Amino acid sequence: MHFEKNRFEIWNPLQHPYKHTLSDFAYSHNAVPWVTTLEGVINAILAVNYPNTEASVATPADLPTGIDTPNIGDVVPTLLDYRVVIDDGDGKGSGYRWEHREGEAAPSWHKIYDMDWGEETIVSNFLTKTQDTYVSKQGQDEIDKDGNAVVGDLSGQFIYGGASANTHLTLYANSGDGVGPNTGFVQIGDQLRPLTTDVFDIGTVAKKFKDLHLSGNAYLKNISIVGDVLTSDTGAFNFGSNTIDTTGKITGGILQSNSFAELAQITTPANAQAGHDRLYFKNDDKLYKLDAAGIEKLVGLEFTSSNDNRLLRSDGATGEKIQESGITVTDSDEVSGVTSLSVDNILVDGSTISTTASDVSLQLTPNGTGTVIVPSLKLTTFLQDSLYVPSVAGDLVARNVKINSANEVTGVSKLYVDTLVLDANEITSTAAGTDLKITPLGGGRLVTKTIVPDLHDSKDLGAVGTRFRNLYLNGNLNDGTDDFPITELMKLREASLGAATGDTLFYNAATSKWEASHPDSEIDHGAIAGLADDDHIQYALLAGRSGGQTLIGSDTAAENLTLESTSNASKGLVLVSDHFAPVLDSGSDLGTALKRFKDIRMSGELKGGRLENFTTGTLPPSSAANIGRAVWNTTTKQIMVDDGVAWQSEGVNRFVGDISFDGIVLTKDVLVSSSVVDARNAIVQLLNNNNDFDRIYCTIKAISATTIRIETNTPLTAGSYRLIVIE
């Protein structure tokens, strides 16, 4: 900072040097070309090193933890948010960062350093203590959220690869070989261990290490390899379905198999060693043993029979002999030759299945959802045609209901079918609010007797939404007193046949019918008295009426009154001979959005007229058909005129738009042609919407008549910014 040696040059005897602020000291550096003062240097350092720095708070208790906490900014902290605490209990400042460290259930504030610095160490402490986001080559001790050094398994430095879940920490030996595999090694100078037991793997199924070189012992869960001894803590090894292939000797205490031992057929081998026997199969399919003396013996018994598949049984007083039985078991497990079979209490003998235990039931129980199928069952003690049902005890009991050979059911006193109940001579439904339907098949008929309601004047035939279609009658309509013959009713049929608009009914004595006819010869208009009387005030009187007249087009909402000069294609004018005014002041429009008058010609003044109002965002599209159309822009407070191509402001052109920066980009182009004719003739300013509209000092260019370019050496903090262009 070269300004210190020339400090005497920036003030004179009439000035005191400490009256100056940092913004009075000029500064320039290629790393920060946009900075011109020392105050800007400090701001740049904080913006680069601590882009997540928020406003300071008085004490640790004032640090915000949630949206409902009434603290500084009242903002939910995000990861790596940093705040200065002015007094953390010792009267001096400290720095806190919002982090989610390993072992914590939720993120919290952690003290990352104290600012208890002396003047002589302020520069060195700034570099060593405030840069804790970088790895310290000479090592450092992490501190906990209270500022104390972390002890135990997590003492020392923490190093993270990524800042989001499922990202990695990648180590390379050198940069000279490119991105791995490299000729160097990633080395460790001390012992290596996991933080948690039985959790982490070395390599994955898809990404495996190549070779493992060890000079000591290996311990793999319950298995250890110490020297040339392989040991399992459980006393057993599980090789799964793998084959152990060796030409050596397997020596052990017990040879045990859960399935079978398979021996190849060989010739007689050499003698066993002393104290051992050799067990083997020869090509005659027999098992032999050979001792150390060379004596070979057959293992087990050999039984020869001319009857294949016979079942063997013991014989003799002591059962020491084996002989054939008359029972045969074939290769497909079919058993024959059994004359009597006894299984527990069940005896199968001849064609009878019985129980040998007294008073014990004989049960047939299928497995799961299977059923007991009896092709033919005959019970001689049942009553003919009677319906049997199971009782509480599980016995079949006869009821009075009978079904004869003609499938006729008798003896039913009440019948329930779904929600229908048939009881005596009444059919009812047990489901509330549902209909009772009687539907014959095909063209079957429903009624063979007279239909009468149960109560007088209480039931309807059909309903509003479900009406009968046709009514066929051959008698009279009767209201209980008078008859109306159907033949007389049918005479009215002629009233609607051939009827046209404006017809009325006239009685034709010749046909004895009422017929529809347009009034003509039936009515002599001149014979009607009182035609000159003004006693139909619902009609307009062309000669005028005392008190004035109101002419209404329709009595239905949203319909119109149309005045037309002539029905001819060559139209005249709809003239008014007096002043034309609405009924209520400012109560009616002249034209609508879709039905507009074309030209208005007037020789007087336009009194009380206003321009049509639009915001910048709601301006209608420009059109060559509307050249000269003038509106009032309520956003910019300007009169704007459509020139057929764009809306032109009458006065100063102004573009005001909010744009977003993502904290990454250094350059952003903004199209401003919607409000500005030539951006190269405009004054431009950028404001920060989230910081009291602070002015942003950066490089702003007009790269064309329509586009403004914003350039920064350091990315602007992610957020919304307002661009103002005045032409």
Would you state the structure tokens that stand for residue 410, as one six-digit string?
């008798």
pLDDT of amino acid 1: 33
pLDDT band of 627, cuts 50, 70, 90 = very high
Please, what's the largest Cα pairwise distance for the chain?
156
pLDDT of amino acid 119: 43
pLDDT band of 394, cuts 50, 70, 90 = confident
48: part of which helix (H) or strand (E)? helix 38-49
What are the extents of the domains in the chain? 50-154, 310-355, 381-458, 479-521, 652-726
Secondary structure in 3-state letters for 444-508: CCCCCCCCCCCCCCCCCCCCCCCCCCCCCCCCEEECCCCEEEHHHHHHHHHHCCCCCCCCEEEEE
pLDDT of amino acid 117: 54
Q: Beta partners for 507?
A: 514
**Above 90 in pLDDT, residue 396?**
no
**Above 50 in pLDDT, residue 504?**
yes
Would you state the structure tokens that stand for residue 277, as one six-digit string?
């026997």
Report the pLDDT averaged over residues 671-685: 89
pLDDT of amino acid 319: 62
pLDDT of amino acid 91: 80
The b/e string for 226-261 (b: 16+ C-beta within 10 A; e otherwise) is eeeeeeeeeeeeeeeeeeeeeeeeeeeeeeeeeeee
Which of 24-28, 131-135, 164-168 is modeled with the greatest confidence? Answer: 164-168
Tell me which residue of 623, 620, 640 sits closest to 632, measured CA to CA.
640
What would the pLDDT profile of 149-206 be if each residue is shown by its tens digit? 888 888 888 788 887 888 998 888 888 877 767 788 888 888 888 888 888 888 898 8
Find the range with the poorest average confidence among 69-83, 251-265, 287-301. Answer: 69-83
pLDDT band of 363, cuts 50, 70, 90 = confident
pLDDT of amino acid 569: 92
pLDDT of amino acid 668: 94
pLDDT of amino acid 298: 79
Report the pLDDT averaged over residues 358-375: 85
pLDDT of amino acid 6: 38
pLDDT of amino acid 56: 82
Report the pLDDT averaged over residues 573-590: 86
Burial grade of 189 (CB within 10 A; 0-12, 13-18, 19 or more): exposed
607/589 Cα distance (integer angstroms): 15
pLDDT of amino acid 11: 46
pLDDT of amino acid 687: 93
What would the pLDDT profile of 313-333 be if each residue is shown by its tens digit? 777 666 666 777 888 888 888
pLDDT of amino acid 227: 83
Average pLDDT, the chain: 81
pLDDT of amino acid 70: 45
Tell me which CATH code domain 652-726 carries. Answer: 2.60.40
Q: Beta partners for 415?
A: 422
pLDDT of amino acid 182: 74
pLDDT band of 8, cuts 50, 70, 90 = very low
**Above 80 in pLDDT, residue 642?**
yes
* Threshold 0.75, pTM exceeds: no
Token match 């350092």: residue?
45
